[in-house]
Structure 1
Amino acid sequence: MPIRFPESFVFGASTAAYQIEGAAQTDGRGEGIWDRYSHTPGKIHQGDTGDIACDHYHRFEEDLDLAQAASMTAYRFSINWARVLPDGVGRVNEAGLAFYDRLVDACIARGLEPWVCFYHWDYSQVLQDQGGWANRASVDWFLELVQLVTNHLKDRVTDWCLFNEPTIFTSLGYLLGQHAPGLKDPAAYGAAVHHVSLATADGVRLVRRLAPGAKVGTVLSINGVQPASTSPEDMAASALADAIMNRAFLDPIFKGTYPDEIGAMVTPFIRDGDMDRLKADLDFLGINHYTRSKIAAKPASVSADGATAGGGMGFVPPPAGTPVTLMGWEIRPEGIYEVIARVYEQYAALPIYITENGGAFPDEMTATGDVLDHDRIGLLTGYLSQIARAIDDGYDVRGYLVWSLLDNFEWGHGYSKRFGLVHVDYESQKRTPKASYQWYRQLAQSRTIAN
């Protein structure tokens, strides 16, 4: 039997400002932490930067044409903080706001619902120099960004996401030192988690006040975490990993508490009244899901230099023969069903959108100029089939935004990992739809996966 999605189900794509926009010093844009970090020798694969990326700043019309031609009906993008507030707060860069005006208008003209994410990792460097998310003032700094952007776009935008993957940018940026700003500081990490949690809840309330009728949510990375064995040490390490990777923001958003495993890092930064502010009344939750991790107390393989910084936990690579992506991530479609069920059973029965899912593959171009990424089609088929299963079982999953529309700057991996439905030649900026693009277009048109 073919697998069919409801008529109301949304098919679209997600992107992020720093990963695709380029134009890093154009039209008054300020410096962000990923500008500084990527220009620091040794931080990014082959010294790549997002200075040009996909040049989406100048080519967004072409890119949105591709989304429209694939029969997508939603496009999620993020705001580059330093593009609209070059000094982090205060002075507004009207040229930066005008870019997002053009982007939103171009989406609407193509039948694409614009989904605006206020923060996808590109913090203002000016504010980072004052401590970034480790500074309690960061809550108010972020709310200034939210107020500016909401007031400017609320006449055309109804779908808002506060953050993208706060577990990732807090842990990799402040605890493990693998992403900008590159800190390995448990205290800074604890402060960042608390301040981002406050900013999430306060941000939801602010958008709802400024734009009545808007749909306001946030986007969390939720992946499977499994102990490598049943030993008490591995079980404890796995619980810590799950706290850092999943529960650090699920718990405050839905329960108004923090996981016990990270409590000692967060508690010093909690002030009177804070815990009453933590719960966020979301209209929807965006879930980004890619894989699962097996965790050991003493890792069989240390995939990052921060294995001990997280308290002695380490990632155990999948066994030989396990299907994996080019990132080394296990391909396990049933995992997406499991995280949807987990949110419903442990947290809240609210509307869910899958706001990122996909995989990196070699994506080599043939002599005839084709990219036959059948591995990606297989991955997408598997995960989307499990999403359809979740819908059939009564979970309110309303849409799927693939990661990503375009190949792009994959953070520490630079341009060496391709996730897009559309191939980008970074030298010429030529866009070439891959086989997966054609597959996704057929899915969006027919709402059906042939079984």
Structure 2
Amino acid sequence: MNHARSDFPDDFIFGTATSAYQIEGHAHGGAGQTHWDSFAATPGNVERAENGDLACDHLNRWPADLDLIRDAGFDSYRFSLSWARLLPEGLGTPNAEGLDFYDRLIDGMLERNLKPAATLYHWELPQALADMGGWRNADMPAWFGDMTELVAQKFGDRLWSVAPINEPWCVAWLSHFMGIHAPGLRDIRATARAIHHVLKSHGTAINVMRSFGMKNLGAVCNFEYPHPFSQSPDDIAAADRYDGFYNRVFLSGLFHGRYPDNVLEGLEPHLPAGWQHDFPTIQAPLDWLGLNYYTCKRIAHDDGPWPSLKEVDGPKPHTQMGWEIYPEGLYQFLTRTAAEYTGDLPLYVTENGMANPDVIKNGKIDDQPRIDYLNAHLDSVRRALADGAPVKGYYVWSLMDNYEWSRGYDQRFGIVHVDFESLERTPKASWHALRDMLVKA
């Protein structure tokens, strides 16, 4: 790494992140069915029809996985709790095995001096709730609040930080407008309602946790930097619409109590009745904001229906996912978010990393492209800090190779290699480089 821990403020947090369905092994431990199980079982939805039944078997291998986080010198572990592992039907009777697993996992973090940074929802909706409409259903905020209350009662006193929902854009747009993630819909009305109910559920959860005296509560949104394909007025307007429904709609709801005009042009007819009155809940005060950042997009005008745009391939290099590498975008989002939305509110880079076709040679994995990627994005963090952005931490995605949703198991984001036959873990060169940065500095 080109950086040292001493290059960052003394209280700066370094961490790594995962999510429940991607690593735990969802078919085990009493967890209920999720809409990802049914989505993956539908031909054509997931490459090679792979699912999260076993994943990385973190359910049983978590002590060794936590050791890898501690030994790399990280301060914090960002993880998620599976709603369907806690409440197999989404509501009703909790799963004792699930509660016990998260009890032991959280205690294991504390024993290793890792700060537990929890996410309440990272995309695996219980199938029973999906059968009732899922995020389209106006009852979702109440259901989500009930699950949050269970978490607050059982674990709230041991969690260093909590965010209710990871990446609202993926939950609402990627899953309901583009159909790429579960539940696999392509429906503008479902999308509008999902966006609004996700945000209202977020605010409901914040208020529930506040009622239990919990602190250090935030939101985690994902961001993609939109480049207009050309400087034509149409392409510039198209890129601004992309920025609206990808980046600004969630920040505007959380911090300004409204939705952007160029988003309402397409979605307002489909929002639920009385949506304008829900912003006091959506705007529940936050202690921090998390930004997940990976890439940018090149956007051109298209003559089709709203949002009337298309993505155009950008210049190399790209990651294994086909995503353009654009570190400047992270700097832009950190500084813009502070200037236009959050002011002095602490900001965390809650996910940043890349998929790379890593292979083991002579027992080692040389993932120099990932080291280069992390170095370039940490450069952007340091620039943002120098320009006054209140950045308080940085989390690498991901601890280990895992189930990459509709892309199955071939997209490797981890700083630790996983052999999906033996499930053996092998730290990559990036893990060793980060350890040298965080431990030896």
Show the counterpart of 1:401: 395
Letter in 1 for 2:292: N
Q: Report if aligned partners of 1:194, 1:270 keep a CA contact under 8 Å in 2.
A: no
User: In terms of mean alpha carbon deviation, does 413-422 or 328-337 score higher?
Assistant: 328-337
Show the counterpart of 1:6: 9
Shift, 1:83, TM fit: 0.6
Q: Give the 3 Å change call, closer, same or farther, for CA 46–34 of structure 1 in structure 2.
A: same
Letter in 2 for 1:186: I
Shift, 1:309, TM fit: 7.3
1:315 aligns with 2:316: no
1:102 aligns with 2:104: yes
Identity of aligned residues (%): 42
Letter in 1 for 2:354: G
* Structure 1 segment 114-125 matched on structure 2, within 5 A: 114-125=116-127
Gaps of 5+ in 1: 300-307
Letter in 2 for 1:277: T
1:171 paired residue among 170, 173, 178: 173
Shift, 1:19, TM fit: 0.6
Show the counterpart of 2:159: 157
* Deviation readout 1:354-401 (Å, 9 max, x if unpaired): 1100001111111x1110000000010110111112112221111111
Show the counterpart of 2:365: 371
1:273 paired residue among 277, 289, 295: 277
Q: Report if aligned partners of 1:423, 1:434 keep a CA contact under 8 Å in 2.
A: yes
Shift, 1:346, TM fit: 1.1
* Deviation readout 1:281-327 (Å, 9 max, x if unpaired): 1100011001111111239xxxxxxxx676332111113xx222111
Show the counterpart of 1:294: 298
Q: Distance in 1 between matches of 2:305 and 2:91?
A: 32
When the two structures are aligned, how many residues end up with a matched partner? 434
CA RMSD of aligned residues (A): 1.6
Q: Report if aligned partners of 1:168, 1:245 keep a CA contact under 8 Å in 2.
A: no
Shift, 1:6, TM fit: 1.7
TM-score relative to the length of structure 2: 0.95
Q: Distance in 2 between matches of 1:25 and 1:389?
A: 44
Q: Distance in 2 between matches of 1:352 and 1:50?
A: 31
Secondary structure of the corresponding residue to residue 181 of structure 1: coil
Show the counterpart of 2:54: 52
Show the counterpart of 2:145: 143
Shift, 1:172, TM fit: 1.1
User: In terms of mean alpha carbon deviation, does 325-334 or 438-447 score higher?
Assistant: 438-447
Q: Distance in 2 between matches of 1:222 and 1:25?
A: 32
TM-score relative to the length of structure 1: 0.93
Secondary structure of the corresponding residue to residue 289 of structure 1: strand
Q: Report if aligned partners of 2:90, 2:126 keep a CA contact under 8 Å in 1.
A: yes
Q: Distance in 1 between matches of 2:3 and 2:13?
A: 18
Q: Distance in 1 between matches of 2:411 and 2:294?
A: 14
1:440 aligns with 2:408: no
Q: Distance in 2 between matches of 1:44 and 1:17?
A: 18
1:351 aligns with 2:355: no
Q: Report if aligned partners of 1:405, 1:420 keep a CA contact under 8 Å in 2.
A: yes
1:419 paired residue among 395, 403, 413: 413
Show the counterpart of 1:188: 190
Shift, 1:262, TM fit: 2.5
Show the counterpart of 1:85: 87
Q: Distance in 1 between matches of 2:188 and 2:122?
A: 22
Q: Give the 3 Å change call, closer, same or farther, for CA 83–266 of structure 1 in structure 2.
A: farther
Q: Report if aligned partners of 2:142, 2:204 keep a CA contact under 8 Å in 1.
A: no
* Deviation readout 1:66-117 (Å, 9 max, x if unpaired): 0011011100111111111111111111211111101101111111111110
Q: Give the 3 Å change call, closer, same or farther, for CA 309–107 of structure 1 in structure 2.
A: farther
Show the counterpart of 1:62: 64
Secondary structure of the corresponding residue to residue 290 of structure 1: strand
Q: Distance in 1 between matches of 2:11 and 2:295?
A: 27
1:259 aligns with 2:260: yes
Show the counterpart of 1:305: none
Q: Distance in 1 between matches of 2:106 and 2:281?
A: 32
Letter in 2 for 1:224: Y
Show the counterpart of 1:334: 328
Letter in 2 for 1:221: N
- 4+ aligned runs moved over 4 Å, structure 1: none
Show the counterpart of 1:382: 376
Q: Distance in 2 between matches of 1:351 and 1:257?
A: 22
Show the counterpart of 2:233: 232
* Structure 1 segment 236-255 matched on structure 2, within 5 A: 236-255=237-256
Show the counterpart of 1:361: 356
